[in-house]
Chains A and B, each alone.
Chain A
Amino acid sequence: MIDLGEDLSAIDRLVHEPARLVILTALSTCKHADFLFLQRLTALTPGNLSSHLTKLEEGGLIWIDKQIVGKRPRTRVGLTPEGRDAINRHWQQLEQLRARAAAEGKNSDLEDA
């Protein structure tokens, strides 16, 4: 039997790493981006970025399309529907955290007054 809670936390671990979160956030606001764009955004080495992308692909969150255009390799990366759900969920959690932090800040201001 599948443990949904464990699956979600595994996805969260996959999503929450800073470089991967940046990659997924970038991909969530476009159809697809190429390897170089993601590399410029994360400032990772090609090897490191490839490793992160492979993990995300294995987790079913992104698709990778490798082509040769004019004798040069071109790698395009996009989000799968599962990846889009995962990053949206993560954003909702971040927004809730932000709202909670703002509410707590307001409460402590009232207590001080």
Chain B
Amino acid sequence: MNELQNLERVQYITRNFSALQGLKMLPFGLFMLALAARDFGWGFLGQEGDCTYTLPLFFVVLALVYLTSRYYDQAFGSVKEIDHSTSAFISAAYLFVLLLVIVVEVQLNPPVSLVALLLASTLLFVGIKTQRPYYTFFALVMVGISFLPLIQNTSLENPYYGSLGGFAKLAIGMIWIAAGLIDHVKLVRIIKQVSGGVND
């Protein structure tokens, strides 16, 4: 039965190989932390709406993601998933929906953040689909964040700016970093278990 368990691990790691490359999330997480610091008024990255530093920083983030991708290719190899093109299409459609929801939220200022709810449901869905139960916790944090606009109900100001916005970005950044690190550790641990099982 150990053999069967090991083979199930092989299936899991191959099926979710790109999803478990968590270090790719770190640059995005750090970027969100930098934006949070700006919203808290620490003067880092200039003022809100000032792209002098944020735009170049975003390109640094993209370069870091590319380098991390290369690291995974060179350290762990590469896998072409069966539903690769479908995943790309779903990701593109999801980004479109996310942008749409952001626009709606900025225009209507609903009492509960639709963006945070969308992110929470995404985390929950991805966690269930890829058997990563810790994503449920991150989804719950995002649900909590979705209620931030209620705290600021006297103002129609977008809750994702100012100190509350800083808090939301801080939480999102922390979630990305934590999820990324846990995913990476999981990837390394399962590969070790599988290779250990082969050579027992």
Point out residues on A near B: beta carbons under 8 Å: 18-19, 21-22, 25-44, 76, 91, 94, 98, 101
User: Which residue on B lies nearest to A35, using beta carbons?
Assistant: B77
Asked whether, in the complex, the Cβ of A30 is within 8 Å of the Cβ of B80, the reply is yes
Point out residues on B near A: beta carbons under 8 Å: 1, 3-4, 6-7, 10-11, 13-15, 17, 74-82, 84, 191, 194-199
Q: What residues of B have a CB within 8 angstroms of the CB of A22 in the complex? A: 6-7, 10, 194, 197-198
Q: Which of B3, B7, B76 contacts A36 (CB 8 A)?
A: B76
Q: What residues of A have a CB within 8 angstroms of the CB of B7 in the complex? A: 21-22, 25, 91, 94
A18 to B2, CA, bound (A): 12
Asked whether, in the complex, the Cβ of B77 is within 8 Å of the Cβ of A33, the reply is yes
Asked whether, in the complex, the Cβ of B82 is within 8 Å of the Cβ of A31, the reply is yes
Asked whether, in the complex, the Cβ of B4 is within 8 Å of the Cβ of A43, the reply is no
Q: What residues of B have a CB within 8 angstroms of the CB of A21 in the complex? A: 3, 7
CB distance from A93 to the nearest CB of B (A): 11
Main secondary structure of the interface of B (DSSP, over half): helix
A76 to B77, CA, bound (A): 10
Q: What residues of B have a CB within 8 angstroms of the CB of A18 in the complex? A: 3, 197-198
Once A18-B3, A25-B7 are accepted as A-B contacts, the answer to whether A41 and B13 lie under 8 Å apart by CB is yes
Q: What residues of A have a CB within 8 angstroms of the CB of B195 in the complex? A: 40-43
Asked whether, in the complex, the Cβ of B80 is within 8 Å of the Cβ of A40, the reply is no
Asked whether, in the complex, the Cβ of A98 is within 8 Å of the Cβ of B1, the reply is yes
Asked whether, in the complex, the Cβ of B15 is within 8 Å of the Cβ of A30, the reply is yes
Best-surrounded residue of A18, A38, A76, A101 (most CB of chain B within 10 A): A18
CB distance from A45 to the nearest CB of B (A): 11
User: Which residue on B lies nearest to A102, using beta carbons?
Assistant: B1
Q: What residues of B have a CB within 8 angstroms of the CB of A28 in the complex? A: 11
Best-surrounded residue of B10, B13, B76 (most CB of chain A within 10 A): B10
Q: What residues of A have a CB within 8 angstroms of the CB of B4 in the complex? A: 94, 98
CB distance from A34 to the nearest CB of B (A): 5
Asked whether, in the complex, the Cβ of A43 is within 8 Å of the Cβ of B199, the reply is yes
Asked whether, in the complex, the Cβ of B84 is within 8 Å of the Cβ of A31, the reply is yes
* A to B CB contacts below 8 Å, 19 in the list: A18-B197, A22-B194, A26-B10, A29-B11, A29-B14, A30-B79, A33-B78, A36-B77, A37-B17, A37-B78, A40-B75, A40-B76, A40-B195, A41-B195, A42-B194, A42-B195, A43-B195, A44-B198, A98-B4
Asked whether, in the complex, the Cβ of B77 is within 8 Å of the Cβ of A38, the reply is yes
A98 to B11, CA, bound (A): 17
User: Which residue on A lies nearest to B191, using beta carbons?
Assistant: A40
Best-surrounded residue of B14, B191, B196 (most CB of chain A within 10 A): B14
